[in-house]
Amino acid sequence: MTFEDLFGCDVTVSDKGSITSWNETMMGFLAHSASTADALGKTLKLEPDFALAHACRGLFSMLLARRELSTVAQEAHTKADNCRLINPVSFRENCFIDALKAWLTGNPSRSVKLMEQILSKSPHDAMAMKMSQAIRFMLGDGPGMRRSLERISKVYSEGHEASGYFKGCHAFALEEAGEYRLAEAAGREGLELAPDDAWGLHAVAHVYDMTGRAQDGLNWLSGKEIAWQHCNNFRYHVWWHIALMHLDLGEYDKVFELYDTEIRLDKTDDYRDIANATSILMRLEFDGVNVGERWEELAELAASRTEDNCLAFADLHYMLALCGAGENKAASSLVGNMEGCHKHRDSCEMSSIISHPGLLAAKGLEAYRDQDFELAYSDLSNARADMVKIGGSHAQRDIFERMTIESALRAGLGSQARILLRERDLHRGHRDGYSEARWQILDLKAAPQKVSGNSNFAATDVA
Ligand SMILES: [Fe+2]
């Protein structure tokens, strides 16, 4: 039978009572809550033939960008497909099932289009709204995020159940577009409407990052732990943002404290956690700070993900871990597998992105590890224009931007480093601590220093 869920959208289930747990699933997904998987599990236990819930299980699996979860997603699609053969489902539900299929066959952009088709008919479908943003995030499609949200915004200004989460998503899209003032306002409004919306809260943290206002960012996040304590491992990402702010202020002890007690509280190999960890260690090393044995733990986990090739962003962060610990064999293996993606570039969107710019960037990381800074600069600067395609946020991809600058500095390419820094400053709206320190080096015409040893990725002390 067809009923309406919390957002007034069609769901095909046998018992109206089971919609409660489906609503919890949707709200959990919007809030990045750790409870989402349990709510979805409960829904499927109550409604084993609920096609939409199976499709969402598959899409949630794909969002985690892990090779083994493609099998889970494929099984979920088969179940969803069988369910809709037995009980015909609504347009919305068909689109979700087809979106999963599109991603499984290598075309996540098609999955996004299907979410947009739902939103054209039902702009109030907050599940499709959030799914569209989540997939676009992995495709680095900031402009698309903004377009998607702004064409449906009217619906969410009229007392919609998800209006706070909508504003949080809009805040993030605005921030990625460089509309910092609008993003901050939207994020603050959103959090008032949805106090558990860690995504919106963190969109405002992005604004402070991009505008070099680390202390303001710390003030904003301080005392708001309730917004992210309930989260899945997204909570580690919020701690990462806090650590970045301390790093920008040169408070390295605090960075290490957060790294050891929050960011790596769980030693997971989730690519988002590995990205948080590797990129903070790398930033510390750019600043000449010794990070001790911390690379090893990450490299051990990354070594078992060298055949993933699900997402360039993930592969590049595994690469950071492997290079950081001097696990050269595993790093070569990962690069080899990334090279292998070339033959699938026409049939699989993610393989195409891994093939370029992913592979070039990975080779740049290898060259940096080998202290061949000229080659590192060449590879990274050639990848740079397309790096947005690897996905993630500007703040996350900044690690590759910094490495390109560090390569230029260490290769003695002062004028190239100046161009990169100037572009970075313009893009970010204001100089941050990193930029100030590098301009100081360039203005003083300090000779970049190379140091020996490769146990740590970037054992240099330019800053
Ligand atoms: Fe973030």
pLDDT digits (tens, 9 = 90+) for 115-156: 999 999 999 999 999 999 999 999 999 999 999 999 999 999
Please tell me the distance between residue 13's alpha carbon and the centre of ligand 1 in angstroms: 36
Please tell me the distance between residue 232's alpha carbon and the centre of ligand 1 in angstroms: 14
Please tell me the distance between residue 288's alpha carbon and the centre of ligand 1 in angstroms: 24
Q: Looking at residue 159, what is its pLDDT? A: 84
Residue 354 counted as domain residue: yes
Q: Looking at residue 455, what is its pLDDT? A: 41
Residue with tokens 């996905």, as numbered in its chain: 391
Tokens coding 367: 């060259």
Q: Looking at residue 389, what is its pLDDT? A: 98
Please tell me the distance between residue 313's alpha carbon and the centre of ligand 1 in angstroms: 14
Please tell me the distance between residue 201's alpha carbon and the centre of ligand 1 in angstroms: 10
Please tell me the distance between residue 443's alpha carbon and the centre of ligand 1 in angstroms: 31
- DSSP calls for 100-167: HHHHHTT-HHHHHHHHHHHHHH-TT-HHHHHHHHHHHHHHT-HHHHHHHHHTTHHHHTS--TTHHHHH
Please tell me the distance between residue 219's alpha carbon and the centre of ligand 1 in angstroms: 17
Please tell me the distance between residue 257's alpha carbon and the centre of ligand 1 in angstroms: 19
Please tell me the distance between residue 203's alpha carbon and the centre of ligand 1 in angstroms: 7
Residue 102 counted as domain residue: no
Q: Looking at residue 457, what is its pLDDT? A: 58
**Cβ(276)–Cβ(314) under 8 Å?**
no
Please tell me the distance between residue 413's alpha carbon and the centre of ligand 1 in angstroms: 31
**Cβ(435)–Cβ(425) under 8 Å?**
yes
Residue 303 counted as domain residue: yes
Work out the percent of the chain whose per-residue pLDDT is above 90.
94
Residue 1 counted as domain residue: no
Residue 12 counted as domain residue: no
Residue 447 has pLDDT above 90, yes or no: no
Residues in the chain: 463
Please tell me the distance between residue 364's alpha carbon and the centre of ligand 1 in angstroms: 24
Please tell me the distance between residue 206's alpha carbon and the centre of ligand 1 in angstroms: 6
Among 72-86, 193-207, 434-448, the least confident range: 434-448
For the chain, what is the mean pLDDT? Answer: 95
Please tell me the distance between residue 147's alpha carbon and the centre of ligand 1 in angstroms: 20
**Cβ(102)–Cβ(119) under 8 Å?**
no
Please tell me the distance between residue 284's alpha carbon and the centre of ligand 1 in angstroms: 18
Q: Looking at residue 271, what is its pLDDT? A: 98
Backbone angles phi, psi at 33, to 5 degrees: -80, 145
Reported as a pLDDT band with limits 50, 70 and 90, residue 429 is confident
Please tell me the distance between residue 218's alpha carbon and the centre of ligand 1 in angstroms: 14
Please tell me the distance between residue 241's alpha carbon and the centre of ligand 1 in angstroms: 7
Tally the domains of the chain. 1
- How many of the other CB atoms lie within 10 Å of CB of 216? 16
Instruction: Specify burial of residue 72 (Cβ count, 10 A radius: 0-12, 13-18, 19+).
Output: middle
Residue 452 has pLDDT above 80, yes or no: no
Domain carrying residue 326: 267-463
Q: How far apart are CA 318 and CA 262, in angstroms?
A: 20
Q: What is the pLDDT of residues 230-266, one digit of tens each?
A: 999 999 999 999 999 999 999 999 999 999 999 999 9
Please tell me the distance between residue 66's alpha carbon and the centre of ligand 1 in angstroms: 20
Please tell me the distance between residue 286's alpha carbon and the centre of ligand 1 in angstroms: 20
